[in-house]
Amino acid sequence: MKTLMQAGLMLLLSLVPAWAQETGPVQSILQENRHLIEKSSRKTIQPAIDALASSGLPQAQAVLEAWQGKDMWQVKDTGLFYRGEKDGDAYRLTDFDSGAAIGRFDKGDLDQLKPNSGIRALMATALVAFQLNDPDPARRTDAISSLQRDPGAQHLEPLRASIAGETDPNMKAQKRRLERLLTAAYDKDISMRVMAINAMRGDLGVDVRATLNPLVTTRLDMAEGDTPPAKTNVARILKPGTDDLPRLEAYDMLAAAGKAPPRVDRDTIRNTLSNNIMDGRVGGVPLAQLDTETGRIRAYTALAKDGTVPSFVVDNDINSALQGHVFYEVYAEKDKAVTDAAVKTLRAIQTRVGLMQALDLTLDALSLASIYFLAAIGLAITFGVMGVINMAHGEFIMMGAYTGYVVQQFIPNHTASILVAIPLAFAVTFAAGVAMERLVIRWLYHRPLETLLATFGISIALQQLAKNIFGTQARPLTAPGWLDGAWVMNDVVSISYIRIAIFVLGLLFLGVFLFIMKKTRLGLETRAVTQNPRMAASMGINPGRVNMLTFGLGSGIAGIAGVAIGLFAKVTSELGSDYIVQSFMTVVVGGVGNIWGTLAGATMIGFFQKGIEWFKPSNTLAAQTYMIIFIIIFIQFRPRGIIALKGRAAGD
């Protein structure tokens, strides 16, 4: 009896295919779908891919990746599938299940599986389920990025299934957000789609709008009768003869659909007349009379009366045809609940986008105002205290920027170089300002025209000197690495870290200036000379020394502004001339000689300029023209600026 059982078992084993006795579970799946794999047809291969993807075997991912990468080979004798790697003149095969080396085979003993692009796309979809659950966070991140670039309905279920097991909070949030987008676009459950759409009302991402906009896309359609067909998701009814639907455009739709005779245009008339010339006439009209529009119409009308060509479509014909039809816009999305939710969500998003754009514009305006404030603060000091129109102020800004560039040639560390460049730029431009005041300005007090001409000449000379030393090409002043990039609040609002640093620097200098003016002897003497120079001199204050130090202080601050501006602008010999006009406008609008007026003027001009840019003028020159017109009008109503100065400068 025992012998009979053993014999029966051996018989059963002999009936099992050889590959099933010697291979693992993945190889078994491959062999079960062998005929599909060997044919490699996009129309028939899906069951084989699904069998691997749904097997739950960890080796299935490796099989799909090898197959997709054309690294899967089949042994001709056994029909078994392995991963293959070129090894000299042969190929080394590895078992998918065990990872063990099978041996080296000649290429003639193997068949390489070469899936086409369509089959590889199906594999990529199947691999998403594995990649979204891969233990390696980098591969999961890559899978999410891939889905964000090219989402599809087939990705929804694998993505949804991977959320519960996700351990990384940030990645889990990304998956949930992406799942919401795919649900809104592809889920078969209408209630789930509506719920996902409503949940996106606070999301300002561009991909959200890219998902919702196709749902509310419309096309123009028409139907006989007074109402659109039942179960049509109508966006709105259009009335022919309005701006939304011109009358002739509506009729042409009917003609294109074969529901009305087409209108006869000029080209059709010309071609028709040329094809119906008989004995030097067309419809009884001589050819010599066809050079006018009236003659051509008369000839065509005659042909139409004879029945040779179609008649003209007149207004009564158009009206009759339009009266029997309804025109409407229909949504591409068939379900009304989905489009209603999408429309409401897009409106809510658009409202938030508008608010965020206003915030972004405000941040840009504050950033621009801080730049103008830094550029003008030194000019406000010299102009307010001394009454000197310094046209070379922009060149002190340029000198500061070039000082930063020179420092970076010796100190390659950008953070350290900027920390060294700021005080050094102050020292260089302070010394240049003192020299300019002692050599030129002191001889021209109370002679504004001569001062303007002298400083303008110095400005030209300094620009030429910079060209001789540094050349005409722009020089780089590189910001530290920690200032790279921008602070991004959302897809609408962002501001670069350099702009933030300049804003902070402007506030810092505001505090330093207030401290100097309120808490130091120089500040006390400067205020005394500003308000009454004769009285200050009688109290033992040297006005000439105060003027010298004040001019040097203003020039030094301009040098520091040059370092800051050079971090985002091109450092050239013309750098200062780009900011001199704005600096003077800032000082004049704010009130000469008053630090708070300079701050107010910079803020006003910064916001006004960004407001002009928001309206998108035709070019930069137009924007500058609007700015100058605004300044002129403002000065007419407030000639002493926003915050008027008291004392000598006010009197002057």
Return the pLDDT at 12.
39
pLDDT at 649 over 60: no
CA distance 606 to 365: 5
Beta-carbon contacts of 531 under 8 Å, excluding residues fewer than 6 positions away, are 646, 647, 648
Q: Do 147 and 186 form a contact (C-beta atoms < 8 A)?
A: no
Q: Do 579 and 565 form a contact (C-beta atoms < 8 A)?
A: yes
Q: Do 372 and 582 form a contact (C-beta atoms < 8 A)?
A: yes
CA distance 54 to 460: 78
pLDDT at 386 over 70: no
Q: Do 598 and 376 form a contact (C-beta atoms < 8 A)?
A: yes
Q: Which of 155-169, 276-290, 607-621 has the lowest mean pLDDT?
A: 607-621
Question: Of 338, 266, 334, nearest to 296 (Cα)?
Answer: 266
Return the pLDDT at 9.
38
Return the pLDDT at 11.
41
Return the pLDDT at 67.
87
Angle, CA 36 vertex, CA 33 and CA 39 arms, to 5°? 145
Return the pLDDT at 6.
45
Rounded to 10°, the helix 521-531/497-519 angle is 80
Q: What is the pLDDT of residues 42-52, one digit of tens each?
A: 888 888 888 88
Buried b (16+ CB within 10 A) or exposed e, 244-256: ebeeeebbebbee
0.85 surpassed by pTM: no
Q: What is the pLDDT of residues 548-575, one digit of tens each?
A: 888 898 899 889 989 988 888 889 998 8
Return the pLDDT at 645.
54
Q: What is the pLDDT of residues 202-261, one digit of tens each?
A: 888 888 888 899 989 999 998 888 888 888 899 899 998 888 888 888 888 888 888 888
Return the pLDDT at 57.
83
Q: What is the pLDDT of residues 488-505, one digit of tens each?
A: 887 778 888 888 888 888
CA distance 529 to 543: 6
Q: What's the Cα-to-Cα distance from 583 to each of 450, 605, 644, rounded to whole Å?
A: 20, 10, 17
pLDDT at 400 over 90: yes
Q: What's the Cα-to-Cα distance from 113 to each of 38, 83, 586, 633, rounded to whole Å?
A: 8, 10, 73, 78
**Average pLDDT value for residue range 617-635:** 74
pLDDT at 193 over 90: yes
290 phi/psi in degrees, rounded to 5: -90, 10
Helix (H) or strand (E) holding 368: helix 336-386
Dihedral in degrees, nearest 10, Cα atoms 276, 277, 278, 283: 70
* pLDDT, averaged across the chain: 83
Residue 574, burial from CB neighbour count under 10 angstroms (0-12, 13-18, 19+): middle
pLDDT at 100 over 90: no
Tokens coding 333 = 């999305």
Q: In percent, how much of the chain has pLDDT > 90?
A: 15
Q: Do 575 and 401 form a contact (C-beta atoms < 8 A)?
A: yes
**Average pLDDT value for residue range 580-608:** 82
Return the pLDDT at 19.
41
pLDDT at 10 over 50: no
Question: Of 134, 133, 77, nearest to 108 (Cα)?
Answer: 77
Q: What is the pLDDT of residues 101-128, one digit of tens each?
A: 888 898 888 888 888 888 888 887 777 7
Return the pLDDT at 459.
92
Buried b (16+ CB within 10 A) or exposed e, 389-402: bbbbbbbbbbbbbb
Tokens coding 361 = 């514009």
pLDDT at 404 over 60: yes
Q: How many CB atoms within 10 Å of residue 174?
A: 18
Q: How confident is the model at residue 619 (pLDDT cuts 50, 70, 90)?
A: low
Return the pLDDT at 401.
93
CA distance 559 to 565: 10
**Average pLDDT value for residue range 333-353:** 91
Q: Do 456 and 388 form a contact (C-beta atoms < 8 A)?
A: no
Q: How confident is the model at residue 22 (pLDDT cuts 50, 70, 90)?
A: low
